[in-house]
Amino acid sequence: MKLPVQYWFGGLGAAIECHRQGHDVEIYESFPELKELGDIISFGPNAGRIFHRWSGGSVSRRMRALSIDLRTYGFNIHKYDTGEIVVNQATPEYGEDAPNFNGHRGELHSVVFHYAKDELGIPIHLGHRIKTYFEEDDQAGIVLDSGEKIAGDVVLAADGVRSKARQTVLGYEDKPKSSGYAVWRAWFSNEDMLADPQTAHFCNNGDTFNGWIGPNMHFLFSTIKNGSDCCWVLTHPDAHDIDESWSFPGKLSEVLETLKDWDPMCARIVAKTPEAKLVDWKLVYRDPLPTWVSPKGRILLVGDAAHPFLPTSVQGATQALEDGVSIAVCLRRGGKEGVPTAVRAHEKIRYDRVRDTQKTGESTRDMWHKTDWDKVKENPELVKLPRQSWIFDHDAEKHAEEVYDEVVAGLTSAAK
């Protein structure tokens, strides 16, 4: 079975999982070369379980070495104005077979990219921009800007929040809209932090994680790689029109003005940031799509193309990986002659779980932004970052295997 898929974690993960399940996979991506872009990204243990199955755990061990280790430090949650630590949330111990990762997006992506390309030999075609998608009864494919057409049994479109494939799937243009929030974010080295006695302790203590929560905003700051690298994100209200773009160069003056009534430590950290490292990222929102599957069942939206997540869910990239695991199992179980049924079964298996997980991003954001500090004074546990077992304990591969036949039977019965 041949599958053209796309790049980044959702596409790479889907390609690797499809390769594991015996499918013939090729990746097409518009980026002309691999670059270690971005800042922090998080993967929960439900993603770690997936990574651990690759190459006998060697991939997850490489990723773990690049990730923050908070087993000693935990997560300090501060009140926004006084700076007092309200509660320290301990980092749970996860088994070696289900690790969690928080590291630089580009560095972790490089590990996965080279595993797919160099160890598995999956063809990755860079510098190939997709102009449009097409599907027929027995195949689907992509048309490149060059005019070249590439066909396969199914296309997995992991082309992000501005997915071109979405119009093919839905039959109409579904424009992204502002979530009402944006994130300033940065990743930089520790030199200026170390030079200031008031901020040096963050880096001298190795890996650390601190968060300040307050009215309609939250500021998260980490040191990583034993304190050598620093990163922060500030989620704040923003109603910018994202039709033009959703990522801009950030301005330190705007960040500092926004933080003027907060604990001075937040501004002190921000002031150490080289402005060239600052990004102003508008959070895109989409209502849940009615379907992720094209009319003939041969094009499937994967990851952000199907379901963009708010950062406060801490699950966006992980759910994209779960998509790849699920569709790979379904395609193997359905076989070459049953592609449309397998693709629709995947959607049925994943849809409710993804929707419910998406909601946690909104509930966590609102819990932090609308904190009742009198209640928190009585019970500091109220502001801890939720870690739901129904999310973290999920085994996407096992689940797809267990329910596939039942789901297909339901689809067949409904079609009669």
Catalytic residue ranges: 185
Q: Are 312 and 361 in contact (CB under 8 A)?
A: yes
384: which 2 tokens?
A: 């801890």
d(CA 346, CA 82): 48
Cβ–Cβ under 8 Å, residues 320 and 10:
yes
Alpha-carbon span 29 to 7, nearest angstrom = 6
- Residues 308, 315: Cα–Cα separation, whole Å: 10
